[in-house]
Structure 1
């Protein structure tokens, strides 16, 4: 029998076979966070490794410039690192975080252990880890909560809330030992205690120093050299020996932020450079690097200087070398967009201006008015991708920026403000605020012109493909211009949402220049079923339905075209996710709705009546369930989830379908189901029935998807792994009736 005849016979025989629908699978999670801000650094000479704790994770850099980055998807429980310590006996790196998490990396086995006692203790109001100290019998941990000890088997011991007479709740800044005495420095003095006491919780066992011999009682750190303790405050340094604390002359250097032992000499740093304590001379190579936030040193004379501008300086023998990790400038991912070249665009918001950042080809680039002086303000707060490959970036104060592609990787940036467009600044001035842009079917870009000063002016600006601008005042109420999001439906009606509690404004010009026939109206909680008047997002799905996210939940408008008949549309409450606070909405290739809420991500089916999947801290490496932004790359199937603590990227099996089966393929080949992997069948046409059969035509399993790809786990319709051999994959589109086939080989190792 010919192949074509075989396919036809099989498809006819299988047309009544039960199809198994595709599920929502997200895998291969990666996390992206900012590595710019160095909170703590540590050089371990024996491991030839620099360890850098940042607000976005841990960096380990060896002497061959090999870099390993650890975040919540590959070892850490928390990304905001606040303390590092090295246990030389066990060859373990201890990593402390601002939320009380402790992660322990074993350098020998390259495995992680975790201690969550501090993080999970509800009675601790403050949990930041600040320092570690390792002895032969115990590990001491100091932080905002006080002092806690652990034995060598990681079992907790004493919890000391109060160091002697020092106020309870005072943060501990460093730990040292001299012989059999433990020294603790705090923000309100220093304390010492004999390490052989039955319990360190007994306040009377502590000896406290708060004034005599100290430049200030607020201690920032300490080190020990030759059994002499050196205590550092912002205003000066003292040493303690033979029971006496003595202030050392630092020649007026009184903005000290760190102290360390560089080789065999005591050094201290301020925000400009590092000094030797014995002569107060600048350490060569430590100056002219900008503002320093701190430093650390090691026994081999290496010092690590932390830069406020981002990254570190590695200093040894007067030679300095800068290291800046490639990362976004901030952990704030409060808006997201994907350009046609697959690049991600993101940033913060107007109240926390950071500029914006792009991610493509595994590289981050950061943009601000420092890199681009034409950007008057760094308050970028929305981004929209257009069909011509451009990205429009809405700015709080500086108008709107069009990023137009030159090549696949470079863009030209054009700023539009009061000088070159109809935009009007707040109160009629030059401070121009724009909302999220949208594109109509003619390629015209529309965006709100925000004003909260009651100035009559344009509420909507548009720019045509030929470059000409136009504008419209609010035909419902000319002084209401506090709108910051925009969407355009299939009938070219513009829908504007207000984050200031004005509800939903809509406008249609009926495709005429006559302003008298324009349709304007406003919907809010008083005249409609909108759940809340604070509108955060409006999205049109693949069927032309409008989805509205607000502080009160999710609404849908199934009949937006009815406004052309002079009627208000029906606004439906999507009750399947109750009254969750909705921050963002994205539509995937098969018209599912991905909803970003303050309680995780919910994936709803096409009509919003069923929850297909929930993504939160229990099943994804998220540090918070408060999801601020969400976008999908329907060409690759990637989902991007933005929070205030970083970006989460996952791989889905939902991509745009092909028009036919000319590119149908499957991999890996050969495929072994026992590995736990799946066979990826890609190049599917819309609404594909996928039948897997034996060479003789016996059915194995039948699958169904609207996506351009689907996974097969190597099991038949009874859940049994199939035998080795060759299998035929038959496909047929439910919309085009086109068919295709390929084959795969099952082989066990």
Structure 2
């Protein structure tokens, strides 16, 4: 595997601006080869930190990144680089490799070689079926061993044999398979080398010289915070001859009492509270001079004397969960917003000097609800259902822009899960409760709700639930609203005039997601009135060129499921998405497969136009003859070659039409592709670059296909690589660009003999370097002739082959 360095701002410049946020461009946007994957995961939320001599290694909910303070270089590593998962839970640096160890929720541990980029995944813990949970909480390297604090005890992994050497799951009087959240090595009360564990029920320790640490009798358990069963020992560290323990609450508890905080073990074995500024302590880190820890809203330090000081700053970290202290006073704190770079004075005072907030470029959050690529090539991304997460834009230059209430004061603290990018540069985002946000080309943000538009609020309040939105060919914005008693469809003219239109669905159904086709027909998914999570049919609305006058509108509802007798209908009335292909065919994604309809432009007026199920080109006897029938489909996108990209609960399929039906070209899942999750919520194709994006609840990735936008007119062809160097029995893929919409491509010898013939759809086609008989062509110069199938004429190119 190859890693690519990221361009970065010098970190030294960071210290010039207090409390500033800095990010680095994502190299995923750089032109990657066809067939390559790219990750666009959010790496703001830090889960763990590790330190090497020259860099910090940061585990996040979007993968891992390396940050070098000396020169500001930052490098991202994700599933596309070979990591097991996007959501890293624990991290440790091993200087003997050197290696970086990464732990995950399912028990898998990765070993990453920073020099070569190689990743090895170890499944030993994950494969075990002895325990219901396998989460890796902490990793720590000691000699030839890697110690893992897990959801069922401690696992000792032998780095040399690459196998689990030991596991300690019965710890004295604790329940078997107790959660161990942290561990450290420090002398036992008897002065022997010891292993100390922070567990869900207090502290446990054992001598490393014990004959058998699997034996429960080898372990001593000590209660910590007044034996409160709502509290857990979350962190532990040895400092200046004493053992310190950080107490936290169980995730299911709302405890907020005085027992939370920092404790120091006395020689008597009692744990004495150390005033530290209040709140839970999720992480501890010691250097030669001080002990540092995190508290609910910030950090604290403990001097060699044992006195603790709350570190104060106006820009305090937000519920931090990890911390590392350098000997020069640099402090690195991981929280939900990013990596906080701070500094502590060498002596005197308790001021935490926050220098900046660092994070790699990317979307604000990993839970992706919707995707849309506009005509300029921007990717517009809808955020999660969690309020405050906003929406995001991947710009044509490869950088991300996140629109959240924390960054834009005019943007409500809502969740925006319906998005659209307009041809003129506007971005629109619909929310659940806060109306519609508009971003102008100059980056001005304005929000529309019941107070400044026709958008109807639910129950008379200013709570505007947007079901869907889109922009028609004339630049008008169309919006559907839900939970309203009155108007459910709204149109905004280019001049800014809003008009409300009635709900034509009748009782029991409400308007939801919206798609506008090339004929300006509005396709509106219907949701059930009493449960917006259940779709119930699909409507088509033709406004007859008078969008603000409903009197002449034509309307039709498709609510009939598939009938085997006449072979028409939807595979299910639970409709999830609608789109249109390059031939004008309407495609519908449902919870039971996909359907297609030949679009006449007058569908609302013509009852004879019906949906049907696309057939596979060939099937075995007894198999379902219809494409993806019976599969829950979440979204569909069409690329420049008119191929279908289908997002499902079981990965992504892509297919194309051939003689006799449709052929599935590939099926991407987590087993053969770096998908963050098999449940793919949304898909969108960028026909300028060929990248197809897949959105999941655990992150966004892209796949670079060969399909790009066709040329508007014939021009000279681009052929690459050129020259082509072939081996004895293998050749690289050869790409021919500059094609029009539909093209016949011929590869000719200098004397005019045709050696290969290709059918092109979209702006690019691939040739495998073989002739009609499947043999690699010999060395020579070949003429490439592309003839447009719609009267565009011919275009020419040449390619040299070297054997």
TM score, norm. by length of structure 2? 0.82
Q: For 1:704 and 1:559, how far apart are their aligned partners in 2?
A: 25
Q: For 2:662 and 2:225, how far apart are their aligned partners in 1?
A: 71
CA separation of 1:493 and 1:690: change in aligned 2, threshold 3 A: closer
- State the Cα deviation string for residues 288-346 of structure 1 (Å, max 9, x = none): 43435134335635431123433322436556532412221101121111123222111
1:159 aligns with 2:167: yes
- Does structure 1 conserve the Cα–Cα contact (< 8 Å) formed by 2:46 and 2:59? yes
Deviation at 1:627, TM superposition (A): 0.4
Name the structure 2 match of 1:715. Answer: 770
Q: For 1:248 and 1:377, how far apart are their aligned partners in 2?
A: 39
CA separation of 1:505 and 1:741: change in aligned 2, threshold 3 A: closer
What is the number of equivalent residue pairs in this alignment?
714
Name the structure 2 match of 1:76. Answer: 83
**Following superposition of structure 1 onto structure 2, how do residues 298-313 of structure 1 map, counting pairs within 5 Å?**
298=325, 300-301=327-328, 302-313=330-341
1:583 aligns with 2:637: no
- Does structure 2 conserve the Cα–Cα contact (< 8 Å) formed by 1:562 and 1:568? no
**Could you say what secondary structure the match of 1:36 adopts?**
coil
- Does structure 2 conserve the Cα–Cα contact (< 8 Å) formed by 1:677 and 1:713? yes
1:426 aligns with 2:461: no
Q: For 1:635 and 1:375, how far apart are their aligned partners in 2?
A: 31
Deviation at 1:557, TM superposition (A): 2.5
**Could you say what secondary structure the match of 1:567 adopts?**
coil
More displaced 10-residue stretch of structure 1: 509-518 or 167-176: 509-518
1:263 aligns with 2:291: no
1:546 aligns with 2:586: yes
User: Which ranges in structure 1 are unaligned for 5 or more consecutive residues?
Assistant: 1-24
- State the Cα deviation string for residues 117-154 of structure 1 (Å, max 9, x = none): 22333443222211223333532211123221222322
Name the structure 2 match of 1:111. Answer: 118
Name the structure 2 match of 1:33. Answer: 41
Name the structure 2 match of 1:87. Answer: 94
More displaced 10-residue stretch of structure 1: 440-449 or 145-154: 440-449
**Could you say what secondary structure the match of 1:475 adopts?**
coil
Q: For 2:551 and 2:627, how far apart are their aligned partners in 1?
A: 41
CA separation of 1:379 and 1:343: change in aligned 2, threshold 3 A: same
CA separation of 1:315 and 1:747: change in aligned 2, threshold 3 A: farther
- Does structure 2 conserve the Cα–Cα contact (< 8 Å) formed by 1:236 and 1:247? no
Deviation at 1:266, TM superposition (A): 2.6
CA separation of 1:339 and 1:482: change in aligned 2, threshold 3 A: same
**Following superposition of structure 1 onto structure 2, how do residues 627-666 of structure 1 map, counting pairs within 5 Å?**
627-666=680-719
Q: For 1:411 and 1:231, how far apart are their aligned partners in 2?
A: 48
- Does structure 1 conserve the Cα–Cα contact (< 8 Å) formed by 2:555 and 2:604? no
CA separation of 1:374 and 1:164: change in aligned 2, threshold 3 A: same
CA separation of 1:369 and 1:117: change in aligned 2, threshold 3 A: same
1:221 aligns with 2:246: no
1:125 aligned to 118, 132, 137, which one? 132
Name the structure 1 match of 2:757. Answer: 702
Q: For 1:534 and 1:227, how far apart are their aligned partners in 2?
A: 65
Deviation at 1:483, TM superposition (A): 1.8
- Does structure 2 conserve the Cα–Cα contact (< 8 Å) formed by 1:263 and 1:299? no
- State the Cα deviation string for residues 628-664 of structure 1 (Å, max 9, x = none): 1110111221111111111111111111222333142
CA separation of 1:359 and 1:381: change in aligned 2, threshold 3 A: same
- State the Cα deviation string for residues 172-215 of structure 1 (Å, max 9, x = none): 11122235322221121111223344543322222111248989
Deviation at 1:39, TM superposition (A): 1.0
1:725 aligns with 2:780: yes
Name the structure 1 match of 2:245. Answer: 231
Deviation at 1:50, TM superposition (A): 0.8
Name the structure 1 match of 2:540. Answer: 506
**Could you say what secondary structure the match of 1:73 adopts?**
helix
Deviation at 1:440, TM superposition (A): 3.6
Q: For 2:326 and 2:431, how far apart are their aligned partners in 1?
A: 49
- Does structure 1 conserve the Cα–Cα contact (< 8 Å) formed by 2:538 and 2:573? yes
Name the structure 2 match of 1:532. Answer: 572
Deviation at 1:116, TM superposition (A): 1.6
Name the structure 1 match of 2:502. Answer: 473
Q: For 1:546 and 1:348, how far apart are their aligned partners in 2?
A: 27
**Could you say what secondary structure the match of 2:501 adopts?**
strand
More displaced 10-residue stretch of structure 1: 333-342 or 461-470: 461-470
**Could you say what secondary structure the match of 1:354 adopts?**
coil
1:56 aligned to 59, 62, 66, which one? 62
Deviation at 1:516, TM superposition (A): 5.2
**Could you say what secondary structure the match of 1:204 adopts?**
helix
2:796 aligned to 721, 734, 741, which one? 741
Name the structure 1 match of 2:401. Answer: 365
- State the Cα deviation string for residues 584-631 of structure 1 (Å, max 9, x = none): 111122322211111111113248733222222122211211001110
1:177 aligns with 2:185: yes
Q: For 1:365 and 1:118, how far apart are their aligned partners in 2?
A: 39
Q: For 1:121 and 1:353, how far apart are their aligned partners in 2?
A: 39
User: Which ranges in structure 2 are unaligned for 5 or more consecutive residues?
Assistant: 1-32, 187-191, 249-259, 347-352, 564-568, 615-625
**Following superposition of structure 1 onto structure 2, how do residues 446-457 of structure 1 map, counting pairs within 5 Å?**
446-451=478-483, 455=485, 457=486
- Does structure 1 conserve the Cα–Cα contact (< 8 Å) formed by 2:540 and 2:604? no
2:205 aligned to 192, 196, 199, which one? 192
**Could you say what secondary structure the match of 2:238 adopts?**
strand
- Does structure 1 conserve the Cα–Cα contact (< 8 Å) formed by 2:380 and 2:420? no
Q: For 1:438 and 1:388, how far apart are their aligned partners in 2?
A: 14
CA separation of 1:667 and 1:493: change in aligned 2, threshold 3 A: closer
**Could you say what secondary structure the match of 2:627 adopts?**
helix
**Could you say what secondary structure the match of 2:79 adopts?**
coil
Q: For 1:504 and 1:701, how far apart are their aligned partners in 2?
A: 45
Q: For 2:276 and 2:115, how far apart are their aligned partners in 1?
A: 45
CA separation of 1:78 and 1:490: change in aligned 2, threshold 3 A: closer
**Could you say what secondary structure the match of 1:297 adopts?**
strand
- Does structure 2 conserve the Cα–Cα contact (< 8 Å) formed by 1:295 and 1:303? no
Q: For 2:286 and 2:147, how far apart are their aligned partners in 1?
A: 20
Deviation at 1:733, TM superposition (A): 1.6
Deviation at 1:706, TM superposition (A): 1.2
Q: For 2:56 and 2:271, how far apart are their aligned partners in 1?
A: 34
**Could you say what secondary structure the match of 1:605 adopts?**
strand
Deviation at 1:530, TM superposition (A): 2.8
1:626 aligns with 2:679: yes
Q: For 1:142 and 1:416, how far apart are their aligned partners in 2?
A: 50
Name the structure 2 match of 1:274. Answer: 300
Q: Over the residues paired in the alignment, what is the CA RMSD in angstroms?
A: 3.0
1:343 aligned to 356, 369, 378, which one? 378
- State the Cα deviation string for residues 366-423 of structure 1 (Å, max 9, x = none): 1122322222342211112334343322222222233343xxxx44444332233322
Q: For 2:521 and 2:417, how far apart are their aligned partners in 1?
A: 24
CA separation of 1:181 and 1:126: change in aligned 2, threshold 3 A: same
- State the Cα deviation string for residues 51-109 of structure 1 (Å, max 9, x = none): 11111111111232211111111131112111112233333221112222211123455
Q: For 2:778 and 2:655, how far apart are their aligned partners in 1?
A: 36
CA separation of 1:598 and 1:139: change in aligned 2, threshold 3 A: same
Q: For 1:286 and 1:515, how far apart are their aligned partners in 2?
A: 59
Name the structure 1 match of 2:433. Answer: 397
CA separation of 1:514 and 1:197: change in aligned 2, threshold 3 A: closer
CA separation of 1:493 and 1:231: change in aligned 2, threshold 3 A: closer
Q: For 1:414 and 1:246, how far apart are their aligned partners in 2?
A: 55
Q: For 1:267 and 1:634, how far apart are their aligned partners in 2?
A: 51
1:143 aligns with 2:166: no
**Could you say what secondary structure the match of 1:621 adopts?**
coil
- Does structure 2 conserve the Cα–Cα contact (< 8 Å) formed by 1:43 and 1:298? no
